[in-house]
């Protein structure tokens, strides 16, 4: 059967359309929800901080059980249900605002519950993609989805700020709710019936979670990929947490300058995603993972030198290169994870990755504040730059060093004592 481009596959076209419109909405709410708190509810800085924490805490609280539940359900219907839940939750904000009853308690509840729905959606999407496009097209499909995320980072937040100013922040959040309805409609239009998951005996949730953890942490390649990815997330969070302090308080730059600097990261992410397949084809995907880290990650050591004049441009270029490395990683690593993991473990594998990667972001935020208070914000930037400059060694001293191509499931040994959880 001849190879067809990924957009020739109807399920992927629908998944991509759903992701495109919901990504715009997500970036709108990224800006608008804090503005609802600050402008409409006169929230304190502490209130806004709690709001930000609640947006990601669900990944830590329910990430692992969500993966086990997703493996027991049809993934497309999980995504549809999550979209509808997010539409209802976010739609309640402008309705309550119009009626004059909006409160911080409601905002907290909406953000927390929306985060929980996002946990299920993200895990289900990553687990559904191999079936939607076939494992041979995963690099192509993931490259387009990562490029979509990068485009959202570049332009979506600017659109959110404009809409919040032109229409008010609660109305902008209401528009985000509509994007999730559109996303659900796109997913409902996918032709073909998704196979039912294998039946699982009741009362095995804890066992299933342990099986997913053992699979990832006992795998000779997934484990170093996970640890290196957690180091990358930690370093990125350290940097982006302290950049506003350095830009505004230490250098006296405007918020627009900070936005432009961070947008360069979106450009780098886009460039890395676009180049990932070509780099993987030329170097071999295994070598590409540690080779690009070795070549590009040290550029991040220039980011802490950000300052006035040419130092701004030098640091901005370094941030772009750092983000390009992340774009390459996201395409190759995610595709490998999806291809090598048995179908009945995809949800738990993705949940394990999401838990630890999001946990690294949480730790990075708290660590940035602690070190920033004790040693100053520049010290945080230097730590954020140093971590990825050495974390590539986790990949180099793994089986990836000897691989040109990333193998399918048969190409690597499965961890010992890991039975098929649906047939044990």
Q: pLDDT tens, 309-320? A: 899 999 999 999
pLDDT grade, residue 418 (50/70/90)? very low
Residue with tokens 């995504």: 79
The CA distance from 208 to 349, in Å, is: 11
CB count within 10 Å of CB 42 equals 9
Contact 357, 236 (CB under 8 A): no
Cα(49)–Cα(53) distance, rounded to whole angstroms? 6
How confident is the model over 351-385, as pLDDT tens digits?
A: 899 888 888 877 887 788 778 878 888 998 999 99
- How far, in Å, CA of 163 to CA of 167, rounded? 6
Using the predicted structure, report yes or no on whether residue 166 has a pLDDT greater than 90.
no
- CA–CA distance, 153 with 271 (Å, rounded to integer): 13
Give the per-residue pLDDT at 412: 44
Phi-psi region of 213 (alpha: psi -120 to 50; beta: other; left: phi over 0): alpha
Inform me whether the pLDDT recorded for 61 exceeds 90: no
**Domain residue ranges in the chain:** 1-190, 220-406
Residue 165 CB: number of other CB atoms within 10 A?
14
**Terminal Cα distance for the chain, rounded:** 35
**Pure H helices in 71-204:** 75-98, 104-133, 138-151, 157-167, 169-188
Q: What is the pLDDT of residue 385?
A: 93
Distance CA(347)–CA(62), nearest Å, equals 13
pLDDT reading at 85 higher than 80: yes
Phi/psi for 219 (5° steps) reads -85, 135
Q: Residue 239: pLDDT band by 50, 70, 90 thresholds?
A: confident
Q: Which residue has the higher pLDDT, 77 or 266?
A: 77
**For residue 94, is pLDDT > 70?**
yes
329-348 mean pLDDT: 87
**CA–CA distance, 423 with 341 (Å, rounded to integer):** 16
- The count of other CB atoms within 10 Å of the CB of residue 375 is 12
- The mean per-residue pLDDT over the stretch 185-190 comes to 92
Out of 71-75, 95-99, 237-241, least confident range: 237-241
Give the best-scoring range by mean pLDDT among 216-230, 246-260, 370-384: 216-230
Q: How confident is the model at residue 24 (pLDDT cuts 50, 70, 90)?
A: confident
Tokens for 158?
């600017």
pLDDT at 259 over 80: no
CB atoms within 10 A of CB 129: 25
Asked if pLDDT for residue 64 goes beyond 50, the answer is yes
CA triplet 240, 49, 152: central angle to 5 degrees?
A: 50
Task: Tell me the CATH number for domain 220-406.
Answer: 1.20.1250.20
List the single range of 11-20, 29-38, 94-103 with lowest mean pLDDT. Answer: 29-38
Q: Is the model's pTM score more than 0.75?
A: no
C-alpha span between 106 and 92 (Å, rounded):
9
Give the lowest-confidence range in 37-41, 123-127, 187-191, 271-275. 37-41
Residue 157 has pLDDT above 80, yes or no: no
Say if CB 29 and CB 179 are below 8 A apart: no
Instruction: Assign a CATH topology to domain 1-190.
Output: Growth Hormone; Chain: A; (1.20.1250)
The domains spanning 1-190 and 220-406 adopt the same CATH topology? yes
> What is the mean predicted confidence (pLDDT) over 205-227?
90
Contact 205, 334 (CB under 8 A): no
* 280 Cβ contact list (under 8 Å, min separation 6): 139, 288, 331, 332
**Mean pLDDT value across residues 340-361:** 86
d(CA 76, CA 184): 10
For the cut 70, the answer to whether the pLDDT of residue 420 exceeds it is no
Most confident of 19-33, 267-281, 361-375, 393-407: 267-281
pLDDT at 45 over 70: no
| 149, 151, 152, 153: CA torsion to nearest 10 | 90
Q: In this predicted model, what pLDDT tens digit does every residue of 127-140 receive, in sequence order?
A: 888 888 887 788 88
- Candidates 116, 211, 124, 170; CA nearest to 422 is 211
pLDDT at 297 > cutoff 60: yes
Q: Do 141 and 81 meet the contact criterion of CB atoms below 8 Å apart?
A: no
Six-digit token pair at 383?
A: 């730590």
Which of 143-147, 274-278, 293-297, 418-422 is least confident?
Answer: 418-422
Which of left, alpha, beta for 192 (phi over 0: left; psi -120 to 50: alpha)?
A: left
Give yes or no for residue 190 having a pLDDT over 60: yes
- Tell me the average pLDDT of the chain: 82
């Amino acid at each position: 059967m001849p190879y067809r481009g990924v957009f020739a596959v109807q399920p992927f076209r629908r998944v991509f359309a759903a992701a495109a419109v919901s990504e715009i909405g997500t970036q709108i709410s990224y800006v608008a929800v804090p503005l609802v708190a600050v402008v409409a509810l006169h929230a304190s800085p502490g209130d806004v901080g709690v709001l930000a924490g609640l947006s990601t805490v669900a990944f830590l609280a329910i990430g692992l059980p969500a993966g086990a539940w997703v493996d027991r359900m049809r993934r497309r219907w999980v995504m549809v249900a999550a979209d509808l839940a997010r539409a209802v939750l976010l739609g309640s904000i402008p309705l309550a605002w119009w009626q004059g009853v909006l409160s911080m308690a409601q905002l907290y509840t909406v953000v927390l519950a929306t985060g929980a729905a996002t946990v299920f959606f993200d895990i289900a999407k990553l687990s559904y993609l191999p079936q939607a496009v076939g494992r041979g097209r995963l690099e192509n499909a993931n490259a387009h989805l990562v490029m979509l995320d990068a485009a959202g980072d570049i332009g979506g937040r600017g659109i959110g700020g404009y809409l919040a100013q032109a229409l008010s922040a609660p109305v902008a959040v209401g528009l985000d709710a509509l994007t999730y309805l559109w996303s659900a409609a796109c997913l409902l239009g996918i032709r073909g019936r998704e196979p039912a998951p294998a039946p699982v005996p009741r009362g095995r949730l804890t066992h299933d979670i342990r099986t997913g953890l053992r699979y990832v942490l006992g795998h000779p390649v997934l484990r170093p990929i996970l640890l290196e990815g957690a180091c990358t997330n930690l370093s990125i969070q350290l940097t982006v947490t302290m950049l506003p302090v350095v830009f505004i308080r230490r250098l006296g730059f405007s918020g627009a300058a900070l936005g432009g600097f961070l947008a360069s990261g979106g450009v780098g992410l886009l460039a890395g995603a676009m180049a990932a397949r070509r780099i993987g084809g030329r170097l071999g995907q295994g070598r590409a993972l540690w080779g690009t880290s070795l070549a590009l990650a040290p550029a991040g050591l220039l980011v802490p030198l950000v300052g006035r004049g040419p130092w701004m441009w030098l640091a901005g270029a370094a941030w772009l290169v750092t983000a390009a490395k992340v774009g390459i990683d996201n395409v190759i690593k995610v595709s490998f994870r999806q291809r090598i993991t048995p179908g009945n473990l995809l949800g738990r594998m993705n949940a394990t990755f999401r838990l630890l990667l999001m946990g690294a972001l949480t730790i990075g935020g708290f660590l940035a504040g602690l070190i920033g208070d004790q040693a100053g914000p520049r010290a945080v930037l230097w730590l954020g730059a140093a971590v990825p400059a050495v974390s590539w060694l986790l990949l180099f001293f793994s089986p990836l060093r000897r691989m040109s191509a990333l193998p399918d499931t048969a190409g690597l040994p499965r961890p010992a004592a890991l039975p098929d959880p649906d047939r044990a």
